[in-house]
Amino acid sequence: MNNFWQKLNKPILTTTPMAGITDSAWRQICKSWGADIVHTEFVSVDALYHGSTKTLQMLEYKASEQPVVVQIFGKNAELYPKAAKIVAKTGVAGIDINFGCPAKKVAGHGGGICLLRDMDTVYNIVSATMNSVDLPVSVKTRINLNKITGAPNKGQITIFDFLEKLKDLPIAALILHGRSYEVPFTGPVDLDMLKSAGEKFKEYFPNSPYIINGSFQTIESVVDDLKYTEADGIALSRALYGRPWIFQQIKDYLATGKYEEITWTDTKDTIIKHAHLLYESKGESGFREMRKHLLFYVKGRPDASTLRKQLVSVDNPQDVEKIFSKI
């Protein structure tokens, strides 16, 4: 098995899967701004198993995006072998298994982070996936969750329980979100927990990269967090909304101790390129998805309110070019 994770220069900068965001056009934009790895949107093993056309389309990518990792999720271990084989046939670089999603439609039905309440199933999912394909299999999860929903006094399941269960399997990489299931997106991450978890991960998997997630505040803080946790890289998610150039800024800061602010010309060029890429991949019917990205890009501008009124009705890249040629 070719574990591409181990061949990447460190620190490794990667996207994380985001529903409705990390499609092919977005991944190409992130790669153009320095992402080392890109992930697809969340892909359901149930949908793959049953041959969903819409889900199969989510696996499509351009060669320029490689290495591409497909993140799959689902709570039924018996479905993973077939789903993983479908993914492997696309030629992607790797498979990631989601054990961290806190969304109600996933975790609320026993999937995502809540799978950690059944470690035997976790083990069976990872083992079955690895045994069915010749691809590196990584995992993503969170630092902890309550053993019983709504009952913190009943104890917690932690990343250390997770690692202990999987220590005999050839995990290609770990992406660890520094917040719990109960506090999924707000507030500071637990850097001490991320540091300790990284030490344990390296004990069990000395050659596999350890990637932290959820800690982005500023370019400077990313570097501080990487140094403190001794992680091999960082996975970025919502911080990228309207700011895909963060990858390049982080790399510049690591290399030189400084980075350039992005000019409005660079921003406009990125917006227009993104619009064309999305139109090429999804056509006129799918172009409406560009509208949310446009709102992200103009957030914080003094004229954002006026622009939003125009951007929510664009139907093609030409509409986008017309609006941004005036500002």
- Expressed in percent and rounded to 5, the helix, strand and coil fractions of the chain are 50, 15, 35
Contact 222, 215 (CB under 8 A): yes
* Residue-wise pLDDT tens digits, 134-177: 999 999 999 999 887 776 777 889 999 999 999 999 999 999 99
Q: Of 228, 256, 284, which residue sits at a domain end? A: 256
* Residue-wise pLDDT tens digits, 105-126: 787 778 899 999 999 999 999 9
Whether residue 251 sits in one domain with residue 270: no
Whether residue 129 sits in one domain with residue 51: yes
The per-residue pLDDT of the chain, averaged, comes to 94
Whether residue 197 sits in one domain with residue 97: yes
Instruction: Tell me what pLDDT residue 92 has.
Output: 98
CATH number of the CATH domain containing 30: 3.20.20.70
Cα separation, 70 vs 48, in Å, equals 12
Mean pLDDT of 305-314: 95
Whether residue 164 sits in one domain with residue 196: yes
Instruction: Tell me what pLDDT residue 151 has.
Output: 67
Whether residue 181 sits in one domain with residue 93: yes
Indicate the range of 172-186, 197-211, 307-321 predicted with least confidence: 172-186
Mean pLDDT of 205-217: 93
Tokens matching residue 156: 């917690």
Reported pTM: 0.94
Whether residue 272 sits in one domain with residue 252: no
How many residues are there in the chain?
Answer: 327
Instruction: Tell me what pLDDT residue 315 has.
Output: 96
Instruction: Tell me what pLDDT residue 183 has.
Output: 81
Cα separation, 288 vs 314, in Å, equals 7
Domain count of the fold of the chain: 2
Tokens matching residue 273: 């390129």
Mean pLDDT of 3-27: 95
Instruction: Tell me what pLDDT residue 213 has.
Output: 95
DSSP code, position 233: E
Whether residue 94 sits in one domain with residue 17: yes
Going by C-alpha positions, the residue among 273, 285, 4, 262 that lies closest to residue 134 is 4
Q: Of 207, 238, 256, which residue sits at a domain end? A: 256
Whether residue 233 sits in one domain with residue 280: no
H-run or E-run covering 210: strand 210-213
Cα separation, 149 vs 228, in Å, equals 31
- pLDDT grade, residue 326 (50/70/90)? confident
Whether residue 269 sits in one domain with residue 252: no
Q: Of 238, 256, 274, which residue sits at a domain end? A: 256
Instruction: Tell me what pLDDT residue 186 has.
Output: 80
Whether residue 308 sits in one domain with residue 193: no
Contact 181, 145 (CB under 8 A): yes
Give residue 276's domain range: 264-324
Whether residue 242 sits in one domain with residue 307: no
H-run or E-run covering 99: strand 94-99
Cα separation, 201 vs 208, in Å, equals 9
Whether residue 279 sits in one domain with residue 235: no
